[in-house]
Structure 1
Amino acid sequence: MGNSQLQVDKMGKSRLFRIFLVLGSLFMILLIIIYWDDVGATHFYLHTTISGPQSSRLPSDTQSDAKQKPAISKENFISDVDEFLNQVLESSNKPNKLSKEGSDQKTSQETSGQNGKQQEERVRGYDWKARSTTVSLDRTQSQERRKQLLHDFCTNYTLDFPGRNRSFDDIPNKELDHLIVDDRHGIIYCYVPKVACTNWKRIMIVLSESLLNQGIPFLDPLEIPREHVHNSSVHFTFNKFWKRYGKFARHLMKIKLKKYTKFLFVRDPFVRLISAYRSKFEIENEEFYRSFAVTMLKRYTNHTTPPKSVVEAFAAGIKPSFSNFIQYLLDPRTEEHMPFNEHWRQVHRLCHPCQINYDFVGKLETLDEDAEYLLSLLNVDNVVQFPPSYHNRTVSSWEEDWFANIPVEWRRELYKLYEADFSLFGYSKPKTLLQV
């Protein structure tokens, strides 16, 4: 009887110990989350193991100062917290290593796609003109105007559009895939295709050191192959937070959105569409031919059975016209099948400017000046420089020629489709295109 009672007591104590252990762990996690929010006000960045340790490519005097100064306890605490979360969640993310053998082994379809991308790069060319090293005082004022316009539009403007009034928590995870995070420097970049995003992605790769070439991080953005730049596995985006942090994901997103510097680049919506058409349908691109051009040809031309490959189609002089492309955008069946492709999806659907308070809004029309100014604001201009811009960049003056054969009614419908982007980012309504 005594032994049985003793065993019962031991089991009770063991169970009680496990309960206290679980409650203690939950309390510690709650304490960590609360403390994490509080220490954010000291304006340091939350460094996670996604990017590894801080970059060693710092000026020599900075490194010597760092050795002399004691470590900041709160920052160390945050690093420990992030390491703790990573261990608990059993997740890891290592830089991608490139090998010549792997990059050489491509299927014929991939090779065709890469040839198209290389052709696109050659067609564009680079403008190696000298840049001004002076910083205009008007840049700060220009940024304030752009950000104020966003704020006014999202809070007071009468024009409404889908998703404008939803909260950040209401945004589906799959719609956060354009927000690239660099934990090394506390930067979040929302990339918009056809707005210099290839080179900005290159910048993010260099800063985060997320891609290695023979074991060494890339130092020159232009040395990063184009096909690797657009490989989603290279970039740590918000939609990957769920896999890494689970139920903590949305909370960590909000913390980083609050503490990090957030930026995006935009351009005139109609000019962006022209650029998208030029690069995806005027140049051989197997992926876009099969996914979109074939549909356009079947729906809006007399080619009921288009060639199976883009090579055959171009050899026969068959490709969708710009008019066919506009028809496709205006066709209700297009989005019934799937959302707009990112190359012509509206910017407000890619970057959610009414839910995310961007610190910097750049424009392609002032790319060189804005890029130089932004990199200096981020204090990384000593680490990386923005690559030279394209000398034959699609410009607004082309709009009239490109839309000459587009019916006025179609133009008006197209403007309504992209009106929110025009208004949000301060682009004038193209009145001449919309008048009879």
Structure 2
Amino acid sequence: MGTSRMFRIFVVLGSAFMILLIIIYWDDVGASHLYLHTPVSPGPKIPHPPPHQGPQTSRTPSFLSDIDAFVNQFLEPGTGEPTDPAPPDTSNQSEKAEERYIPRREWKIHLTPVAAELRERQEQRRKLLQEMCANDSVVFPGKNRSFDDIPNRELDHLIVDDRHGIIYCYVPKVACSNWKRIMIVLSESLLRDGVPQRDPMAIPRDLVHNSSMHFTFNKFWKRYGKFARHLMKVKLKKYTKFIFVRDPFVRLISAYRNKFELRNEDFYRRFAQVMLRRYANQPTPPASVDEAFGVGIHPSFSHFIQYLLDPQTEKEMPFNEHWRQVYRLCHPCQIQYDFVGHLETAEEDAEHLLRQLRVDNVVEFPTSHRNLTASSWEADWFSTVPVEARRELYKLYEPDFRLFGYDRPDSILNE
């Protein structure tokens, strides 16, 4: 009887010990490297003497490879060799795809340092964010809450790439389509004939904005349950976090041009019809966007601003992401971004960022100036908007102006 009882005690103690080991491994390794079969490769490899070449009897266990990849990212810069292990076994794929697979080389030695002015620019932008978040004169909803207090539904703009240790908060109308393309290429979440897609511009637009292509923070709950928030905070601490922003008023003009001056059935039904009924004396607006455009009916920019300022708008639903304030999308006072890009300096910032991430020899940012809304157009666009409405609009978006260093548009507000 005593022997049986002692045996049960040893079993219980042994199980508890194993659970403790699992928790420690999860916290120290798994939390920073959750895709256990997807290698992380942001760091270089230190050269070591070649090991004894003996007969290989079995493949290295995958969890050991994961630990190696995790450790490599903290090593000091060395030879510039890639840290990725050999490409995964593709024996079940076509021979053509296997032949086309090119192992990634994601560590690049640069002969010249990043320009001092670019480093200084980033330092100033990060410092400004910290100062504004600590400044009591900058007030907006949710500013002083903790990260734990942010509802899960408000974390859907934070895209995670565990392969390279990157978190990107996308802001619509700030080149987010192309940055999403970059994230798809880096995360290798899109395969073509079994081969990861390498060309960002070859990714169809419908896939770029397909939520299934991106692993965002708000999906953590479904995958990791009660560990989700803890894992988010671990990644926020260890990964490189970046955001791109734009002059808030110019972003609104761009949103209006794209969603209401072009034929967009979804935005017409959800928003344009509401604006036409409320502000354009159109009690029964056309049923479809084609009918509306056929008779020359669409909400004006002034109607759009009225819609944003109308208290009834947010009572019905939160602002759409295309005109929602950046502080509501990306939580800059709860998340310390490592890189803050501006659309106005997009080319320089993109090159600097990709180089900082050490992936500039893997992918290039696809720049495009087609149909780009210019800041110089602000006065013309706001000429139809009453001055008082412009000032109310500024109050609505003032936190974004101040957080990200955009000047108060006095020429528009003081007419």
TM-score (norm 1): 0.77
| Closer/same/farther in 2, CA of residues 420 and 66 from structure 1, 3 Å limit | farther
Match of 2:35 in 1: 49
Aligned match of 1:208 in 187, 191, 198?
Answer: 187
CA distance in 2, matches of 1:393, 1:421: 21
CA distance in 2, matches of 1:75, 1:66: 19
CA distance in 1, matches of 2:293, 2:49: 61
Per-residue CA deviations over 1:256-306 (Å, capped at 9, x if unaligned) read: 111111000000000000000000000000111111111111111121111
Aligned match of 1:76 in 43, 46, 67?
Answer: 67
- The AA in structure 1 aligned to 2:290 is V
Quote how far apart the aligned CAs of 1:49 are. Answer: 2.1
Aligned match of 1:410 in 370, 374, 389?
Answer: 389
Q: Relative contact order (alpha carbons < 8 A, sep ≥ 6): 1 or 2 greater?
A: 1
Per-residue CA deviations over 1:314-367 (Å, capped at 9, x if unaligned) read: 111111110110011001111111110000000010000000010000000000
| Closer/same/farther in 2, CA of residues 50 and 366 from structure 1, 3 Å limit | farther
CA contact (8 A) 2:198 2:363 kept: yes
| Closer/same/farther in 2, CA of residues 350 and 50 from structure 1, 3 Å limit | farther
Match of 1:358 in 2: 337
Aligned match of 1:428 in 388, 407, 410?
Answer: 407
Match of 2:55 in 1: none
Match of 1:153 in 2: 132
Aligned match of 2:17 in 21, 24, 32?
Answer: 24
Residues 229-378 of structure 1 aligned to structure 2 (within 5 Å): 229-378=208-357
CA contact (8 A) 1:47 1:78 kept: no
Quote how far apart the aligned CAs of 1:307 are. Answer: 1.4
Quote how far apart the aligned CAs of 1:32 are. Answer: 2.8
Residues 35-114 of structure 1 aligned to structure 2 (within 5 Å): 35-36=28-29, 46-49=32-35, 52-53=38-39, 76=67
Aligned match of 1:180 in 139, 143, 159?
Answer: 159
- The AA in structure 2 aligned to 1:194 is K
Per-residue CA deviations over 1:156-190 (Å, capped at 9, x if unaligned) read: 34221101000111111111110101111111100
CA contact (8 A) 1:211 1:217 kept: yes
TM-score (norm 2): 0.81
CA contact (8 A) 1:51 1:210 kept: no
- The AA in structure 2 aligned to 1:345 is R
CA contact (8 A) 2:158 2:217 kept: yes
CA distance in 1, matches of 2:321, 2:37: 26
Instruction: Establish whether residue 141 from structure 1 lines up as the match of residue 120 from structure 2.
Output: yes
- The AA in structure 1 aligned to 2:157 is H
Per-residue CA deviations over 1:359-405 (Å, capped at 9, x if unaligned) read: 00000000011001111111101000000222441111100000001
Aligned-pair identity in percent equals 62
| Closer/same/farther in 2, CA of residues 385 and 315 from structure 1, 3 Å limit | same
CA distance in 2, matches of 1:177, 1:208: 17
RMSD over aligned Cα, in angstroms? Answer: 3.0
CA contact (8 A) 1:263 1:361 kept: yes
Quote how far apart the aligned CAs of 1:47 are. Answer: 3.2
SS where residue 378 of structure 2 aligns? helix
CA contact (8 A) 2:160 2:166 kept: yes
CA contact (8 A) 1:51 1:182 kept: no
CA distance in 1, matches of 2:338, 2:48: 28
CA distance in 1, matches of 2:51, 2:154: 42
Runs of 4+ in 1 over 6 A off after TM superposition: 62-67, 69-74, 77-80
CA distance in 1, matches of 2:278, 2:136: 37
Match of 1:199 in 2: 178
Per-residue CA deviations over 1:117-136 (Å, capped at 9, x if unaligned) read: xxxxxxxxxxxxxxxx9953
CA distance in 2, matches of 1:318, 1:21: 74
CA distance in 2, matches of 1:65, 1:188: 29
Where is the helix percentage greater, Structure 1 or Structure 2? 1
Instruction: Establish whether residue 218 from structure 1 lines up as the match of residue 197 from structure 2.
Output: yes
SS where residue 242 of structure 2 aligns? strand
CA contact (8 A) 2:29 2:67 kept: no
